[in-house]
A and B are shown apart, each in its own frame.
Chain A
Amino acid sequence: MTAPATLDSTPDTSATDDGGRGNGRRLGLVAGAVAVVLALLLGYAGGLLTPRLTRPGDDSVEAGFARDMTAHHAQAVEMGLMAFQRATDPEVRSMGGDIATGQQGEIGTMQTWLRSWGLDPTGSQPRMAWMADGAGLVKNGLMPGMATPEEMAKLRDAQGREFDLLFLTMMINHHLGGIHMIDGVLDESDEPDVVRTAQIMKNTQQTDLTNLTNAKKRLGG
C-alpha cells in the first residue's frame, strides 16, 4: 500500500533502477523456466527410456527361456494333439488335449514377452546358453526331455494301447526335462511376470506328472 506512494515521489531514479533490475529478473525467470522445461523433458525422456533399457535384452536369461521353452512346449503340443486325436484311453485323450492347449497358450504368453521386449523369436545364442551348464544338456539339437525324430516317428506309427503307453512315457520324460529348465529360470531370473508364469508352468507340469504316472500304472505300463 505504501510502496506506490514512494515510487511516485521519486520517479526518475527508481524507474531506471527498477527497469534494470526488472530485466535481470525477467532473464532469470526465463532461464528458470527453460531450466524447468528442460528438466521436465529430461525426466520424461528418462522415464520413457528406463523401461526400455531395463527390460530383458537379447542374450538375457528371460529371452533365452522364452525362446527355448517355446520350442520345448511346441513338441509337447505335437504329442498332446496326437494323444487327443488318437489315444484309446479317455483319460489319456483328455490329458493330451489339456497339455496341448495349455502349453500352446503358454507359447503365446512367452512370444508376447519377446515382442514387448522388442526381441526376435529367434536368438543369436545356442539353445540353453542362458542356463548355467545348459549348453551341455543339448543333444543333437534337442533340449532336456525332448523326443528324438525317431521316437516321434515311432509314436506316429503306434496304435491302440501301445500308443497310449508310449505317449505317457514320452510325455513324462518331456515334463521332467521341462521342469528342469523351469527351475533354471526360477533360479536365475527376478523378472516378476516371468517368475510367476514359470512357477505356474511348474505347478501344472508337476500335477500332470502325477496323473501321467498314475495313468501309466493303470494301463499296466
Chain B
Amino acid sequence: MSISTPGGEQRRPTVVSTGKKPAAGRPASGAKAGSGKPAGTPRAGGGGKGPRKPITPVKVSQGRAKGPIILFVVVGLVAAGIIGVGAWAAFQGSKPWEERADAIDGIVNYREKDPELVKGSNHQPGKVNYTILPPVAGPHNQSWQNCMGDVYDAPIANEHAVHSLEHGAIWVTYRPDLAADQVSKLADKVRGNEKMLMSPFDGLDKPISLQAWGYQLKVDNADDSRIDEFIKTLRVNASIEGPTALCNQGITATGTTPRDGVQMPTQ
C-alpha cells in the first residue's frame, strides 16, 4: 500500500486506487452485457470503450460497504435455511423407534408398565403362567415357534411364541371368529416375511391383537393403518437380541401345549 502511494501521507488515495482495480474490470462486464443485450449497448459500450476514464469507478467505491453485506446476509440466510430444513428433515426421519412406537394410538408399552417382566427372558420348561394375554414378554421355553412368515391355522403355545418375540418377531393374533377376508388380509402381511408369525388366539377381547417384545396393540379391523405402523416400527427393533437372532429351526407344529425338551425342529 505504502509503495503504491509514495508521495501522499493520507491513506485515502490508496483506498480509492484499490477500489479502482476491481472497477477496472468493468469494461469486461460491460462487454458481456453489450453482447447479450443490443439495447443496452449505448451505455455499456461507452463505458467499455473508455477504460481510462476514472470518474465512474470513484462512485462505485461508495456502494462497496452495502453490497457485500447484503450479499453475505442473503447467502447466509439461504444457506442457513437449506441446512435448517435438511437438519429438521433428518431429525424427524431419525427419531428413535421407541418414540415412534409411543406415538402409535392405543399401543401399550409394557417396557414402561412392567420393566421387570420385559427384562426377564430366561428359559423355563413346561407351562408358564402369563398375566398379560396374549403374552408380550417373560420367561419361555427353550424352543421358539418358527417365525419365518409362518401363518398357523390353529392356536400355538405361548411358551414358544414369547421366545419368538424375544428374537424380534411380530406375533399377529386374531379371534377365531374373525371373518375369513380379514384373516387373509392379515396373512398377506405375514406370509413370506421372516420375523413374523400369525395364529388364532382364544378369548381375545378384541378381534385382532399384535405383539412385539414388550408391546401390544389391539385393533378391530385388519384395514387399520396402525397395524402396518406397529410392524414397521417394532419388527426386529423391539428385539432384545438383535437382527440376527434366528426365526428358523423353531417349532412348526400348532397346539397350545408347550413342547419343551422336544428336539428342534419338531415335525
Q: Is B86 an interface residue (CB 8 A)?
A: yes
Interface stretch (choices A119-127, A172-180, A188-196): A119-127
Tally of contact residues, A, Cβ under 8 A: 40
Within 8 A of B (CB), among A71-94: 71, 74-75, 77-78, 81-82
- In the complex the two chains form, is B248's CB within 8 Å of A146's CB? no
The residue that B76 contacts in the complex, of A38, A52, A124, A142, with Cβ under 8 A, is: A38
Interface stretch (choices B22-30, B35-43, B47-55, B191-199): B191-199
**Chain A residues whose C-beta falls within 8 Å of the C-beta of B242 in the assembled complex:** 111
Q: Quick one: given A81-B249, A122-B235, A124-B228, are A45 and B83 in contact (CB under 8 Å)?
A: yes
A107 to chain B, nearest CB (A): 6
**Chain B residues whose C-beta falls within 8 Å of the C-beta of A111 in the assembled complex:** 236, 242-244
- In the complex the two chains form, is B265's CB within 8 Å of A121's CB? no
- In the complex the two chains form, is B90's CB within 8 Å of A77's CB? no
Encoded as 1 (CB less than 8 Å from any B CB) or 0, chain A from 133 to 164 comes to 00000101111001001001100110000000
A85 to B97, CA, bound (A): 37
The residue that A53 contacts in the complex, of B86, B190, B228, with Cβ under 8 A, is: B86
**Chain A residues whose C-beta falls within 8 Å of the C-beta of B249 in the assembled complex:** 78, 81-82
A26 to B81, CA, bound (A): 29
Q: Is the interface on chain B under 10, 10 to 19, 20 to 34, or 35 or more residues? A: 35 or more
**Chain B residues whose C-beta falls within 8 Å of the C-beta of A82 in the assembled complex:** 249, 265
The residue that B244 contacts in the complex, of A45, A104, A124, with Cβ under 8 A, is: A104
**Chain A residues whose C-beta falls within 8 Å of the C-beta of B190 in the assembled complex:** 141
The residue that A141 contacts in the complex, of B72, B76, B192, with Cβ under 8 A, is: B192
Q: Identify the interface centre among A121, A124, A152: most chain B CB within 10 Å of its CB.
A: A121
Interface residues of A, dominant DSSP? helix
**Chain B residues whose C-beta falls within 8 Å of the C-beta of A77 in the assembled complex:** 246, 248
Q: Quick one: given A38-B76, A49-B86, A156-B267, are A121 and B236 in contact (CB under 8 Å)?
A: yes
**Chain B residues whose C-beta falls within 8 Å of the C-beta of A6 in the assembled complex:** 9
Q: Is A118 an interface residue (CB 8 A)?
A: yes
Closest partner residue, chain A, to B188 (CB atom): A141
B137 to chain A, nearest CB (A): 20
- In the complex the two chains form, is B232's CB within 8 Å of A120's CB? yes
**Chain A residues whose C-beta falls within 8 Å of the C-beta of B194 in the assembled complex:** 70-71, 74-75
A125 to B57, CA, bound (A): 62
The residue that A42 contacts in the complex, of B76, B148, B228, B244, with Cβ under 8 A, is: B76
Q: Is B237 an interface residue (CB 8 A)?
A: yes
**Chain A residues whose C-beta falls within 8 Å of the C-beta of B246 in the assembled complex:** 77
Closest partner residue, chain B, to A153 (CB atom): B252
B22 to chain A, nearest CB (A): 18
- A-contacting residues of B (Cβ < 8 Å)? 9, 72, 76, 79-80, 83, 86-87, 89-90, 93-94, 97, 148-151, 188, 190-195, 228, 231-233, 235-237, 242-244, 246-249, 252, 265, 267
Which 9 A-B pairs give the minimum distances between C-beta atoms?
A: A141-B192, A78-B248, A141-B191, A121-B236, A111-B243, A74-B194, A118-B94, A122-B232, A122-B235
